[in-house]
Chain A
Amino acid sequence: MQLALEKVSKLYGGRLQALREFQLELKPGVLGLLGPNGAGKSTLMRILATITRPSAGRVLWNGTDTAREPDALRKVLGYLPQDFGVYPHLSALEFLEYLAAVKGLEQRGARRRITELLELVNLADVAKRPLGGFSGGMRQRVGIAQALLNDPQLLIVDEPTAGLDPEERVRFRNLLSELAGERIVILSTHIVSDVEAVATSIALIAHGRLVAHGAPEALLTAVEGRVWEVLVPSAALNELRRQHLVSNAAHRSDGVHARVVAEKAPPGTLKPLEPSLEDAYLAMLATHRGTAEARA
């Protein structure tokens, strides 16, 4: 099982470059796709889900070009888009039955699986209620269930935890971790802690380019020994932010305790800190931005 992106680019209206020569190869596991707003994450997800065609380059699913033969991938694809709708007059059960038919699943097996999926996403009690009355979080859980209907080999989830309460978020993370063994899961999100919890590899995307790709440990190693806890007076915080990358700050009785990513310990450093994925993410984005500006 392999998904490969070969120099994938996407141009909108002939001008706006959403993706630039994106190159990536994936094997079973959870890929956390991180990037700022407008980085090209959703475009990439749509291309991988065969909704949008790349302007250049190829996406290969087990060697088959998905633009030429999209059904080869669609048969084994589970996709949860960032924004999706439901048919408000159908119940959750009926909606999933409808999508099972659209996916061409054998009816009896599909029914059993739908019942289990509704249990899994905690909607069994409201399975027969019209979707029109569901909250955003409940609809999101219906979306998760539909993505798992066909036991997908490739599961693409775009901002899946948006709208979920903390408990449901943890349940969903657990679910993703369990699913990852035999399939490729691509998780796009802004929430670094979601990625931190489940991803076996991380891809960082900015300005439509792949900035970094590797295991979480490798990304953390890149900022090893570069994260500091710095104590500054409140009035000096803005100056510190101008000079260094501040990933977090907390006001205490003795001043502001700032979490700073820097090559050398800044003045006022209390102690070195264990780097987090958020530190690594912010540091890499800052480096990329600096390189892009220098290039411009």
Chain B
Amino acid sequence: MSGQAIWAIARADFLERTRRYGFFVTLLFAVFLGYQTAVGHLFMQLDSYRGVYTSGWIGALMAMVITLFVSLSGFYIVKSGVQRDRETGVGAILAATPLSRPAYALGKWLSNFAVLAAIVAVLALAALVMQFVAAEDTHVNLWALLSPFLLVALPAMALTAAAALCFEILPGLRGGIGNVVWFFVWTFALSLPVAKENSPLDPLGMITVMRALTAEAKKYIPGYKGGIAFQIDVGHHAQVAQDFRWAGIAWTWESALGRLAWIAVAAILVAAVSQLFDRFDGAQAGRARRAPAAPAPPALNSPARGLPAIPAAHAMKLAEVAPGSSFPAFAQMVVAELRLALKGYGWWWYAVALGLLIAQIASPLSATGVVLGVAWVWPVLVWSGLGTREKTRGTQQVVFSCPEILARQFPAAWIAGILVALLCGAGAGVKLALAGDLHGLSGWLAGAIFVPSLALFLGVWSGTSKFFEGLYMALWYVGPMHHTPRIDFTGSASGANAVRYALLYFALSAALFVMAWLRRRVQINGLR
């Protein structure tokens, strides 16, 4: 394995990424996160208090922001390096060179890591700015401020970069399924060390920060017994414990090396998983069927006697076609989009969807929200194709050169997405209707329209399905699964405000559809 080859792969991939528009958006995302933290919309709370904004506190806070947000979203941001090589055909060229699997994988991992490190760098800068803007403690201790970035955030990013690459390499996890699975893996990685506080497994560094912070906080916050709440809120601020001027994590050689070891773990993981990499050999590895014996070929020097002429194609005999009248043609378009969206799933997919439908009807009305939530996570890959299918499958030129795309095909695809939501959630809908729960029914309908609208919007604007897959899973987890009012798009957590929130979701869906439509218009008019 040559270091030069690893460096070359990493450098080329990083340069390619940084010269794309997406990298600029990634940096904007980092600036946005930094800003939200600096203005106090993201904060750590110990009971109802927080410490003074010292270098130590701000460094740890930013490290937690990275651990919580960038480790999840960063996966979706960097999971594209191998896919790009497949799509551009560069992979086929690389496969024909002596480049080893580990060298390729480590190069791609380093590039992933560099992109995530760029986000960390932006947030480190934001941390410095934040200390001056907050001005609660103007003494800057650079080590206390930056060490959480180096020793907490960067190892976590190395692991995220490795996970993204491993998911791209492993055949079953390459596509949308992997994007959904990552959400659960990430949730598990976060919850495991928190559930077992003394566990040495702390890949994302949360326990490191928590232990250091809570031990010190007990001395200054009366009645504080431990635990940290990480808050995302607008208009709600923790009280400042004025005496708690935290100097930051007291690193020892042992604890620092323990954190840095996760970078080595990430590299080892990548090298190990690379052995399963197919080296861009897309051919199915199934057993070849025995072909019937072919007749012996004629000798090359045998005279060509009685060769049949190549049959001419008689185009003029083709049946005539006429444009369909507007409504049947639109209905036909909706059916075609629905068929396209649902194509490619095995019988088991439909069996599970049917099972979830029965569960909605069989479950008590009080549990409808959760069951509906589960039923609406099942078609996530159907929705994530909305707005992106033409790009990912390369049918843009063929489809966009057809007439009235914006008036027919685009809304038809959206309606097909809504129909999928209505069909998969029909059990809950029927149940709410039979119970005469019109408020609940309005929430159900709003949710069925909102989810495909979000998918269409994110798909058209980002050109990829993974952002919807990631964001939707996060929304689904916080909303329907945790019954969080406002975020629960099924409407089951809205209580007396069900109609109000349903109207809000209807309006939001309309806005998302309009924005998606406007973007598609630009794409179709070739104004990109």
Flag if B339 contacts A98 (CB, 8 Å): yes
When chains A and B are docked, how far (Å) is the Cα of A105 from the Cα of B401?
15
Contact partner of B318 (CB less than 8 A), chosen from A104, A151, A171, is A151
Flag if A146 contacts B398 (CB, 8 Å): yes
Flag if B319 contacts A104 (CB, 8 Å): no
Flag if A101 contacts B319 (CB, 8 Å): no
- Secondary structure at the B interface, as helix, strand, loop or mixed, is loop
What is the distance, in angstroms, from B528's C-beta to the closest C-beta of chain A?
A: 9
Flag if A79 contacts B397 (CB, 8 Å): yes
Contact stretch, chosen from B65-73, B305-313, B369-377, B474-482: B305-313
Q: Given contacts A46-B397, A75-B323, is CB(A101)–CB(B333) below 8 Å?
A: yes
1/0 per position for A133-162, CB-CB distance to B under 8 A? Answer: 000000000010010111100000000000
B317 close to chain A: CB less than 8 A: yes
A167 close to chain B: CB less than 8 A: yes
A274 close to chain B: CB less than 8 A: no
B393 close to chain A: CB less than 8 A: yes
Chain B contacts for A288, CB-based, 8 A: none
When chains A and B are docked, how far (Å) is the Cα of A170 from the Cα of B316?
17
A174 close to chain B: CB less than 8 A: yes
When chains A and B are docked, how far (Å) is the Cα of A113 from the Cα of B318?
6
What is the distance, in angstroms, from B251's C-beta to the closest C-beta of chain A?
A: 49
Chain B contacts for A181, CB-based, 8 A: 316
Chain A contacts for B339, CB-based, 8 A: 94, 98
Contact partner of A106 (CB less than 8 A), chosen from B316, B323, B405, B525, is B323
Contact stretch, chosen from A81-89, A204-212, A255-263: A81-89
Interface residues on B, range: 35 or more
Chain A contacts for B229, CB-based, 8 A: none
Q: In the complex, what residue of chain B is closest to A105 when comparing beta carbons? A: B321
When chains A and B are docked, how far (Å) is the Cα of A52 from the Cα of B310?
38
B187 close to chain A: CB less than 8 A: no
Flag if B315 contacts A53 (CB, 8 Å): no
A164 close to chain B: CB less than 8 A: no
Flag if B344 contacts A89 (CB, 8 Å): yes
Contact partner of A87 (CB less than 8 A), chosen from B313, B335, B389, is B389
Q: Given contacts A116-B319, A146-B398, is CB(A88)–CB(B313) below 8 Å?
A: no
Chain A contacts for B311, CB-based, 8 A: 171
Q: Name B376-396 residues within 8 Å CB distance of A.
A: 389, 393-395
Flag if A104 contacts B329 (CB, 8 Å): yes
Q: Given contacts A53-B525, A101-B332, is CB(A148)–CB(B393) below 8 Å?
A: no
Contact partner of B312 (CB less than 8 A), chosen from A86, A104, A174, is A174
1/0 per position for A171-184, CB-CB distance to B under 8 A? Answer: 11011001101000
1/0 per position for B50-93, CB-CB distance to A under 8 A? Answer: 00000000000000000000000000000000000000000000
Contact partner of B395 (CB less than 8 A), chosen from A86, A89, A148, is A86
Interface residues on A, range: 35 or more
Q: Name A102-150 residues within 8 Å CB distance of B.
A: 102-107, 109-110, 112-113, 116-117, 120, 143, 146, 148-150
Flag if B401 contacts A171 (CB, 8 Å): no
Flag if A105 contacts B323 (CB, 8 Å): yes
Chain A contacts for B393, CB-based, 8 A: 85-88
B15 close to chain A: CB less than 8 A: no
When chains A and B are docked, how far (Å) is the Cα of A112 from the Cα of B343?
23
Flag if A98 contacts B340 (CB, 8 Å): yes
Contact partner of A171 (CB less than 8 A), chosen from B312, B405, B408, is B312
Flag if B397 contacts A84 (CB, 8 Å): yes
Chain A contacts for B405, CB-based, 8 A: 102
Flag if B319 contacts A174 (CB, 8 Å): no
- Secondary structure at the A interface, as helix, strand, loop or mixed, is helix
* Most-contacted residue by chain B among A74, A98, A116 (CB, 10 A): A98
Flag if A101 contacts B397 (CB, 8 Å): no
Flag if A83 contacts B333 (CB, 8 Å): no
A222 close to chain B: CB less than 8 A: no
B527 close to chain A: CB less than 8 A: yes
Q: In the complex, what residue of chain A is closest to B318 when comparing beta carbons? A: A116
Flag if A109 contacts B322 (CB, 8 Å): yes
Flag if B398 contacts A178 (CB, 8 Å): no
1/0 per position for B491-528, CB-CB distance to A under 8 A? Answer: 00000000000000000000000000000000001110
Q: Given contacts A51-B401, A89-B343, A102-B333, is CB(A150)–CB(B395) below 8 Å?
A: no
Chain B contacts for A109, CB-based, 8 A: 319-322
When chains A and B are docked, how far (Å) is the Cα of A86 from the Cα of B400?
14
Flag if B343 contacts A94 (CB, 8 Å): yes
Flag if A171 contacts B526 (CB, 8 Å): no
B285 close to chain A: CB less than 8 A: no
Q: Given contacts A46-B397, A74-B403, is CB(A120)–CB(B340) below 8 Å?
A: no
B314 close to chain A: CB less than 8 A: yes
Chain B contacts for A87, CB-based, 8 A: 340, 343, 389, 393, 395
B299 close to chain A: CB less than 8 A: no
Given contacts A49-B397, A50-B526, 19 further A-B contacts (CB under 8 A): A51-B526, A71-B404, A74-B401, A75-B403, A84-B397, A87-B393, A98-B336, A101-B336, A104-B323, A104-B402, A104-B408, A105-B322, A105-B324, A116-B318, A148-B318, A150-B321, A171-B310, A172-B313, A174-B310
Name A's B-contacting residues (CB within 8 A).
46, 49-53, 70-71, 74-75, 77, 79, 81, 83-90, 94, 97-107, 109-110, 112-113, 116-117, 120, 143, 146, 148-151, 167, 170-172, 174-175, 178-179, 181
Name B's A-contacting residues (CB within 8 A).
310-325, 328-329, 332-333, 335-336, 339-340, 343-344, 389, 393-395, 397-405, 408-409, 525-527
**10 CB < 8 A contacts A-B:** A86-B395, A94-B343, A98-B339, A101-B335, A102-B333, A104-B408, A109-B319, A120-B313, A148-B318, A151-B318
